[in-house]
A and B are shown apart, each in its own frame.
Chain A
Amino acid sequence: MGESTIVCEESFATLIRYFMVNRQIEEDTLTQICAQIFSEGKTLANIIQAANTILDDSKMKIQSALCEVTSGKYYVLISTHFRPDSLWPNKYTNIELEYIKSIINELVISDTGMISLMKCLNLEMKMNKTDAQNLIKNLIVEKWLIEPYEGKLALSALSITELEPYFKQNYESLLNTCIFCQRNIFFGEICVNCNSIGHRACITKYQELMKNRFRCPSCGKNWNQLLHRNPDEAMQIIESN
């Protein structure tokens, strides 16, 4: 009995340490890792639940999240203790955090939920462009930002989940909601007729259901002609009308 509880403890410690280094993990990858670390007979849901009990004291938890860009399902390790001034743990300097905040701000207020790398590098900042470029590269590698198209940046599942309280506090009225699930949306597909926006995952589900009768729930127009996968293209059309 003693032996197995020790092994179990070490298994959870291994899982938690892995999450601390890779804070956003694809569901399939996580399932494989858990198969290696834990003995047979433990479902992913059980493992996550048990891990969250352990993590409760540390004010962190593992949550599932959908990526707006890939529609993939991920598990993310987030802080449950929202402190308005510290977006992320002490890994970044204050200057870097200021710059990251301004990138996030641009992403939240944009119509498309995307920002070009060029625009990022032209934002006001107290560091040189090379350092900024390296910082952005790190943010992508560490899964805080994602590249939906070359040279473009969007918020990852991890960022959206971890920063939810931050967004709620600072941007409440400015946030878009998905026309299907009514939850917050930053990056999605846009109806060029009425500007409605929807999660790619929500649209796929709705499209499968409606098939030929696929209409915008808001303006009723036939959406097969009106929907644009690339938010930039959609905005171009809207602005030219």
Chain B
Amino acid sequence: MASQMTTDEDEIKHLTKESVLYFISQHAKNSTIKRSDFVKCILSDANRRTQNEVIKQTKDTLKKVYGLELIELNENVKYYMLVNDLEYNYNIPLNWPENEKNQQMLLLPILTVIFMNGGTISEMELWSFLKKLHIISDTSHVHEKFGNIDRILKKDFINQRYLVYEPIKNVNRQDNEEYIYEFRWGKRAEHEVSKEKILQHVSEIFECEITHFADQYAQINKENSSLHG
């Protein structure tokens, strides 16, 4: 019979271990975790104070041992998301298993064009951009190496929170459509992808200084200063 004498500390330690395992096993899917699922599965027997302490220690362990940051998202329903916290100092792929490395190659140009376009791009404009890169054609949105581009952009990247795909009111009303769809950076991209590195890369392509892109440069400075206070 389990001893009734386990202290609060022991309980917290045990639940922290369980929580870390829970999040790590979910991380394989690179998607979000519903807070309610997590609490029901791991923390249902614990009181509020213990729950908060466990989450705090879980965050610490995930950062220290795995270099992963546990982020809370509030999208009507509360979600957790694990994002990479390590500097990509080495040329070692950490987030993407072999068979998904291609998706990263597809993601970065898309994030770049959204950022350079002012943070948002309409669906039509994005297809046009991808056609120029020969990733899609007029007749097919399926790429030899990347796969079904529609599915990746509108489902996979959305689920992984790399992109956001939302309807906005069509101010032009050209096609008599009330809404058009636009793509923006998702929360995971905000956390994991460096806008500064993107701007540097773009500047190299155009052989100019990064200050040349005044709006983007200003945005980077603003975000950096709000981070460092």
* Chain A interface residues (CB < 8 Å from chain B): 9-10, 12-14, 16-18, 20-22, 33, 36-37, 54-55, 57-59, 89-91, 137-138, 141-142
Contact = CB atoms under 8 A, between A and B. Distances in A.
Interface residues of chain A: helix, strand, loop or mixed (majority): helix
Interface residues of B, number: 27
Given A33-B90, A58-B17, A89-B24, 16 more contacts: A10-B67, A12-B65, A13-B65, A13-B67, A18-B93, A20-B24, A21-B96, A21-B97, A22-B98, A54-B65, A57-B17, A89-B25, A90-B28, A90-B29, A91-B28, A142-B97
A138 B99 CA distance: 7
Contacts of A58: 17, 20-21, 24, 65
Given A89-B25, A138-B99, A142-B99, A21 B20 contact: no
B64 A90 contact: no
Given A58-B24, A141-B99, A17 B29 contact: no
Contacts, number: 72
7 contacts: A13-B64, A21-B94, A22-B98, A37-B92, A57-B20, A137-B99, A142-B98
B67 A17 contact: yes
A58 B65 CA distance: 10
B67 A141 contact: no
Contacts of B99: 137-138, 141-142
Nearest to B87: A10
A228 to B, nearest CB: 32
Contacts of B224: none
Contacts of B211: none
B26 interface: yes
A63 B94 CA distance: 20
Interface of B: 17, 20-21, 24-29, 61, 64-68, 84, 86-87, 90, 92-99
A9 B96 CA distance: 21
Given A54-B65, A90-B25, A18 B20 contact: no
Contacts of A142: 97-99
Nearest to B93: A21
Contact of B26 (A20, A33, A37, A90): A90
Contacts of A36: 90, 92
A16 B97 contact: no
Nearest to B67: A13
B67 A14 contact: yes
A172 to B, nearest CB: 28
A18 B61 CA distance: 17
Contacts of A21: 93-97
Contacts of A14: 67, 86, 90, 92, 94
A71 B213 CA distance: 55
Contacts of A89: 24-25, 28
A18 B97 CA distance: 9
A13 B86 contact: yes
B66 A17 contact: yes
A33 B92 CA distance: 8
A90 B21 CA distance: 12
Contacts of B29: 90-91
A6 to B, nearest CB: 10
A17 B92 CA distance: 10
Nearest to B64: A9
Nearest to B85: A13
A94 B30 CA distance: 18
A14 B67 CA distance: 7
A59 B92 contact: no
B21 A59 contact: yes
